[in-house]
Amino acid sequence: MVDDEFGGRSYGDDDNEDGEPRLVHDFLRRDFVVSKFAIYLPATTLELLLAMDCYSTRGRVGHTVNQVWFSVQRSNYGLGLNFCAKRTTHHHHHRHHHPLLAPAPSAAPGPDQSQDFEQAQEALFEFLRGFGVSEEDSAAISENSPRYVGMLVEGVRDVEELQLWSSWKSEAAAGFKEKVLCIAKDKGDNGKVAFLESFVGLTLSSAMNVARYLFPETLPGLIAKVKYMKEIFFSGSNNGGIIEKNARRMMMHLSIPVDEDLQLTLSFFEKIEARRGGLDTLGSTDISFRYLVESFPRLLLLPLESQMNTIVEFLENIGISRGCVRNILLLFPPFLFHKIEVIQTRMLVLKELSVEEKDVGKLLIKYPWVLSTSIQENYMEIIYFFDMEKVPKASVDRAIRSWPHLLGCSTSKIKLMVEEIGKLGVRNKKLGQVISKSPQILLRKPQEFIEVVSLLEKLGFDKETIGSILCRCPELFATSIERTLKRKLKFLAAIGVSKVHFPRVIKKYPEFLVSDPERTLLPRMRYLMNLGLSEKDVAFMVRRFSPLLGYSIEEVLRPKLDFLVNTMEKPIKDVVDYPRFLSYSLEKKIKPRFWVLKQRNIECSLKDMLGKNDEEFASDFLEAGKTNVPPPASPAHQ
């Protein structure tokens, strides 16, 4: 609650702090109203208030009504006092919701009420046509703004009930429709509130608040802009909720002081998060557009051609399709207010990051905050920090290009992670290799990183070996212990690998701990078992040579095992004794050596055939000092 410049108070969207409708009930004191507002009120309105005897103090019953509620409507073009009077008895003291402040949907109207409502819609249609709105749009607005139309109907009924038309207007309106037109004209928003309710989907109270920013714009102009924005910015799908996920990720990894643009963006996110559905509704076309207009009403004042269209064309020229433009708009709305020259200047930071031209649009979609001045200033601090750590700039830039959310992380937080990584002997160029492979490791909490290190130590690894594992598979240290690492250890136990062999398996193939069992590990195991191997055989192979769990079935396992069984005419069981067979190149090593041995009628194990280097192989099996690769085999031998 804050005091406004007129001495009143502003509350939430619909209610004041006492749960009453958001009305300035303090103005019921006669001396306050006269002294504060008489100079702002049109003479006809002031005469009407006097006729209603509304200056009675709160709690007294006036001659005509016992309570009159007021709300002040302030905009760029003046101040108006809206009113609603209701007859009540001495036995009931209900507070009546102001018809101009988002009335709740009423029950189904009776025949007379329906007729009044239809006449009000017709009156609104004519009213809108008078502002140059097309027939089609006028019909759409009048048919889809029930709260606004209901407000007009209630306004006519209230004045009729008090028999005050003659004291309010110099000439009495003839029929109900004409009276609705009088109310609509007296409202002063020129149909903008009805338009915002129907086209944008705002509640009546929000529409009234937004309308006060739009006084300079004509109604046809607003309609054109909303249609343009919906077509350009809000067409297409949300790609599986990627906007909402990215919004949460961007906020989660932001730990630097922010500029005004980012502050407005965060306020926009917080406003949506506080509503039903939270940020999950950010990607919903109708809902997100409504929230966007509520938070940034000045969007509807931007020139269509010189601003909106110019920026859209610029984004398309850097590789951002129209379907993806809204990703940037919803994740960083203030960018649309900047001149194209400012945006182009801020885009220069992407050259510093060595972003290839074809990837500029992708990075901007992934992290539009890169256009923020505070983010760009933090980039320079990050570069300076890693320069002091003797980490190559190329590695830092590669990490940021891969995971631009790093740009929102303060160097003080990054320093904590760099210190923990350094305890494993990973520094300088090695550190650069680690962060370029898995930049999100820098966004981890130090305690989470320490817990992964502790888990590996419990498995029997020393810090030097853990450092080697970190360099080979840094993403392992950015995963969840419970959801990922411990699940993989349970998987090893489930397929028959004893705990004592865990270090051997992990050291040879640490990538196993970040693999998906359902998509990668189990399909490969099933393939081997379908060839005639038992579960025990597969477990033995994994224990001896765990990297086989990472080999593609179609590109590695199938062609090599087909050659083993069908061409070399060896039993599939041979691969159990020497699973490293699967690691050698089929074309460069397995086939050449096999044909050499076959030409000499030499039989040997897979290990003897492949486990020796070229000199050892030549010394053991050939008279010459080196291996001679025979010509390509005939089709019969393929």
* pLDDT tens track for 479-528: 999 989 999 999 999 989 999 999 999 999 999 999 888 888 899 999 99
pLDDT-based confidence at 623, cuts 50/70/90? low
- Residue 173's pLDDT is 52
- Residue 632's pLDDT is 46
Can you tell me the distance from the alpha carbon of 372 to that of 258, in angstroms, rounded to the nearest whole number?
A: 9
- Residue 524's pLDDT is 93
pLDDT-based confidence at 74, cuts 50/70/90? very low
- Residue 26's pLDDT is 35
- Residue 114's pLDDT is 82
- Residue 345's pLDDT is 95
- Residue 40's pLDDT is 32
Say if residue 550's pLDDT is above 50: yes
- Residue among 306, 303, 359, 312 at smallest CA distance from 335: 312
- Report the b/e string of 218-235 with b at 16+ CB within 10 A: ebebbbebbeebbebbbe
- Residue 6's pLDDT is 33
pLDDT tens sequence across 426-470: 999 999 999 999 999 999 999 999 999 999 999 999 999 999 999
pLDDT-based confidence at 626, cuts 50/70/90? very low
- Residue 31's pLDDT is 32
Say if residue 398's pLDDT is above 60: yes
Say if residue 129's pLDDT is above 60: yes
Q: Average pLDDT of 362-382?
A: 96
Paired strand residues for 79: 74
Segment among 44-48, 92-96, 170-174, 419-423 with least mean pLDDT = 92-96
- Residue 176's pLDDT is 87
- Residue 622's pLDDT is 81
DSSP H helices in 284-392: 285-295, 310-317, 322-331, 340-346, 349-352, 360-366, 373-388
pLDDT-based confidence at 174, cuts 50/70/90? low
Query: 316-323 — which CB contacts under 8 Å span 24+ positions?
Result: 318/347, 318/357, 318/360, 318/361, 318/364, 319/358, 319/360, 319/361, 319/362, 320/361, 320/364, 320/365, 322/232, 322/235, 322/236, 323/235, 323/236, 323/237
Say if residue 475's pLDDT is above 50: yes
- Residue 501's pLDDT is 93
pLDDT-based confidence at 326, cuts 50/70/90? confident
Specify whether the CB–CB gap between 133 and 220 falls below 8 A.
Answer: yes
Specify whether the CB–CB gap between 361 and 318 falls below 8 A.
Answer: yes
Which percentage of the chain shows pLDDT scores above 70? Answer: 77
Can you tell me the distance from the alpha carbon of 58 to that of 68, in angstroms, rounded to the nearest whole number?
A: 9
Opening angle at CA 73, ends 72 and 74, nearest 5? 110
Can you tell me the distance from the alpha carbon of 511 to that of 612, in angstroms, rounded to the nearest whole number?
A: 27
Query: What are the residue boundaries of the structural domains of the chain, listed by start?
Result: 2-85, 111-216, 225-371, 372-478, 479-559
Say if residue 413's pLDDT is above 90: yes
Kindly give, in sequence order, each residue whose CB lies less than 8 Å from that of residue 281, ignoring residues fewer than 6 positions away.
Answer: 244, 272, 275, 287, 288, 291
How far is CA 41 from its chain centroid?
A: 46
pLDDT-based confidence at 307, cuts 50/70/90? very high
Say if residue 615's pLDDT is above 80: yes
Say if residue 361's pLDDT is above 60: yes
The two tokens of residue 367 are 């992290």
Domain covering 372-478: architecture:
Alpha Horseshoe (1.25)
Say if residue 100's pLDDT is above 50: no
pLDDT tens sequence across 196-250: 999 999 999 999 999 999 988 999 999 999 999 988 877 665 666 789 999 999 9
- Report the b/e string of 394-404 with b at 16+ CB within 10 A: ebbbbbbbbbb
- Residue 71's pLDDT is 36
The two tokens of residue 80 are 């108006």
Say if residue 390's pLDDT is above 70: yes
Segment among 87-101, 147-161, 223-237, 241-255 with least mean pLDDT = 87-101
Cα–Cα distances (Å) from 2 to 6, 12, 193, 258, 297, in that order, read: 11, 10, 25, 25, 21
Say if residue 563's pLDDT is above 50: yes
Averaged confidence pLDDT in the chain = 81
Which percentage of the chain shows pLDDT scores above 90? Answer: 65
Task: For residue 423, report the phi and psi dihedrals to the nearest 5 degrees.
Answer: -65, -15
